[in-house]
Amino acid sequence: MRDELQALIDSLAERLGRSVTIDDPELRLIVYTSHRGIVDKVRLDSILHLQPAEEVVRHIRSLRLGGEREDVIRLPAVPEMEMLARACAPLRAGGEHLGQLIVIDAEDNLSDAERQMIADTARSAALVMHREKLLNDIAAERVRALLRDLIEEDDRVRDVAGRALAAMNDDIRPPFRVSVLELRRDELDPDSVEEQTAVVDHLVRRATRHAPGTVHLTRSDHVLILHPKASDQYDLTLQTLSQIRTEVIRGLGVDGDLHTGVGDRVSTLQRVRHSYLQSRRALYVAVAVPGFGPYVEWSGIGVYRALAELASAGLASGVVPEGIHELMQTEAGIELLRTVEIWLDQATDVRRTVELLHVHRTSVYYRLNRFTELTGLDLQNGGERLAVHLGLKLARLEGSYQAPLPRGSVPRPAARVQP
């Protein structure tokens, strides 16, 4: 596509004796000609950084070029931005705004014939871009289908999908790692879920455009991201995840608490399901237990790996001591459980528990004793203490117990992925 677009604008620039560029709808530079005639700082910045300065982007977006129906629009100069006047031809095809063709026109002296050349070139460029978009959409749908097959239980289905996916792109090479980003569907209007999924899919595709071989699948409540050539240091994984998370948060206008689960590396595409299940479990823990931060690795959550397996299998309720279930029914009982949980998280360090709860030392001892009186569970007994601790964590994972924890009460795992 780029070669065809380049040939089109080189020919136009030669005939006009002016500089020409083509941007995408987000004003990112796609192709540009060598300098001809007068140029300005905006053009130079765009070539150097592949996008104009943020204030220029905001200004041009405010003009809503995608809604214009004219073939060629004049954009007035903006001296404070060191931006000369321009002739702009929106690129439209298939009912979509695909970008814009820009010609610097500082003197406002384009003839009607020259304006027609610009319009004709823009139409040809739009058809090239529309064709490329259709091909990309077909390829993306094929990738989505193969990713769905890669996480199926059937070994034969995964084997066929793995070989097909590897054949599609030379950048899809081992080792692999899967990460998942949560999507909060409960915050959306049910009638807008399909539209929102398309928006997320576009945002993720945009965020991964500079990550060769990275492919994704947007599902109802999460985005699956397959990272190829996964380094042991997580550098590329973290970079890609950060870009995706930032794009989704900004694009959807949600708060910054979206969590991400990261699975272990696997050596083949046929083993991607293994990493995917780990990433889902890690995300499950990150959402249910405060204190883990936005990026949570399966390999860094310690005992929560076993607890997550129990909870996902629906076995949590049977493991949680009955006395804990009873205390969950009242606010006073929940406060007792919260104190016991924080005390256990701090390895029974009363001094640290007092600091986190901001209460007197005697209050902590009173609550611990009261817990034993009401439940019959002896916190001085190592076995029962372990049962209580695991029970509270399982109750959190299954959602029956959600008492807030003070910042710093749950030590973060020693993970290599950091915000």
CATH superfamily label, 316-398: PucR C-terminal helix-turn-helix domain (1.10.10.2840)
Question: What token pair was written down for 207?
Answer: 């965020």
Question: What token pair was written down for 156?
Answer: 């034969």
pLDDT at 241 over 80: yes
Share of the chain above pLDDT 90, in %: 32
Nearest 5 degrees, angle CA 48-CA 53-CA 57? 120
pLDDT at 184 over 60: yes
Q: Indicate whether this model's pTM tops 0.85.
A: no
Q: Which residues pair with residue 303 across a beta bridge?
A: none
* Mean pLDDT confidence for 230-239: 69
pLDDT at 137 over 80: no
| Least confident segment among 147-161, 233-247, 281-295 | 233-247
pLDDT at 82 over 60: yes
Residue 60 is predicted with a pLDDT of 80
End-to-end CA distance of the chain: 36
Q: How confident is the model at residue 314 (pLDDT cuts 50, 70, 90)?
A: low
R_g of the chain, CA atoms, integer Å: 28
Q: 151-301: what fold? A: Alpha-Beta Plaits (3.30.70)
Cα(307)–Cα(289) distance, integer angstroms: 12
Domain residues of the chain, as ranges? 2-134, 151-301, 316-398
- Closest by alpha carbon to 237, among 282, 291, 183, 189? 282
CATH superfamily label, 2-134: GAF domain (3.30.450.40)
Residue recorded with tokens 């929106």? 90
pLDDT tens digit string along 359-374? Answer: 999 999 999 999 999 9
